[in-house]
Amino acid sequence: MSGILIVAEHTRGVLAEASLELIGAAQVAREKLGGPVKALVVGESAGDFAGALNRPGVEEILVAQSDNPHFDAAAMEEVILTAARVQQPALILIAHSASGGSFAAAVAVRLGSGFAADVTGIGFAENGLAVTRAGFGNKVNVELDFPGKAVVVLTVRGATFKAPEGAGNATITPLSVPLEGLAGRYRHVGFEEAPASDIDIGKAEFILSIGRGIQDEKNVPRFAELAKKLGATLGCSRPVADSGWLPKPHQVGLTGKVAGNCKFYLALGISGAVQHLHGMKHVETIIAVNTDANAPIFNVAAYGVPMDVFAFADALERCAGTP
C-alpha cells in the first residue's frame, strides 16, 4: 500500500475549507510516505467540486456519483471502502467534523486499519507514521503510532494545515459504486437555519470572548458593554451558547464559527477546550485570562493572565472610560 487518499466534504453546494486543508496535511505526510495523493468526492453532483479540489500536489480526483443530493454517512462509508480497496492507500485523511466523525471510525474498523481522531500534527517514528492529538481534556499532547498497520485512517482538525493555493494538474476519474439496497441509508429531513444575527464572528477583527468563568448569565451584559466600549465583537464558548446566555451566532469553535478574520482575540474565563481552540487558535494575538494557570488556553495564547476575570474587567473598564 502507498499513497494518500483525501475524502472531500461539501454541504449545500459548497466545498468545505477543511477539504482543501487536508491537501496541505497530505503534503506533510507525503514527504515520508511517498506515493500519489488522490482526492475522493461523493455526491449527486460530485463532479462540480473537481475544479476546486484540483490544487497543487493532487494527482487524481476520484468522482463517485450518489443518488442522494444530501450527505449520507452510509453511502460515504461504502464509497470510501471501495476506493480504498481499489487504490490501496497507506493513509486516508478525513475532516474532523460532524460529518467526518459519522463514518471515519466505521471505515477504519471495516478496513482493520489504524485510527486517530482530531489530529493536529503528522510526523514519523521508528514504526512509521506517528500523529499528535490532544488528550486529558486538551491538557497534554499525545503522540500515537500504528505498528503493524498497513493503512491508517485519520480525522484532521480544521484550521491546522494550510491549504495549497493555485491550480493543479490532476486527472479526473469516475468511480462507480453500487448503492442500491445498502442498509442504513440516511433520510434527509431538512436544514435548520441559524437565527438571524447582526454579528459575523467570521469577519470580526477584534473579538472579546467569554466563557463559563463569568459564572452567571446576569454578568453577560457587563461584558457585552465592555466589548462595545473596546470596539470588539462579543464572542463566547459553547457552554455559554448552550446555556442560552448568548445566541448561537456568538459562539466560536468547532460547532460555532471560526474567527477567520480575527487579528486580536481576548478570551475571558475560557478554559480552552479542543472544540473552542478549533475556532481561534490560529489568531496571531491571543490574550487569555483565567484563574487556572494550567488552563489549555494558555498553550495557544500569546499572553496569559492567571487572574480573576472580573478584576481584569474592572481594569479594562477604567481604561475604556479614560478620555
pLDDT tens across 108-142, in order?
Answer: 999 999 999 989 899 998 878 999 997 776 567 89
**Nearest residue to 264 (alpha-carbon basis) of 289, 234, 284, 288:** 284
CA angle 274, 278, 279 (to 5 degrees): 130
Query: Which CATH code of 1.10.10.10, 1.10.287.1400, 3.40.50.1220, 3.40.50.460 fits the domain covering 201-320?
Result: 3.40.50.1220
Residue ranges of the chain assigned to CATH 3.40.50.620: 4-174
Least confident of 24-38, 153-167, 202-216, 286-300: 153-167
Q: Where in the chain is the domain with CATH 3.40.50.1220?
A: 201-320
Cell of 261: 478574520
Task: Determine the CATH number of domain 4-174.
Answer: 3.40.50.620
For residues 80 and 187, which has the higher predicted lDDT (pLDDT)?
Answer: 80
pLDDT in tens, 247-302: 999 999 877 888 988 999 999 999 998 889 888 988 999 999 999 999 999 999 99
Give the predicted TM-score (pTM) of the model: 0.75
Q: What is the pLDDT of residues 23-75, one digit of tens each?
A: 999 999 999 899 999 999 999 999 999 999 999 999 999 999 998 889 999 99
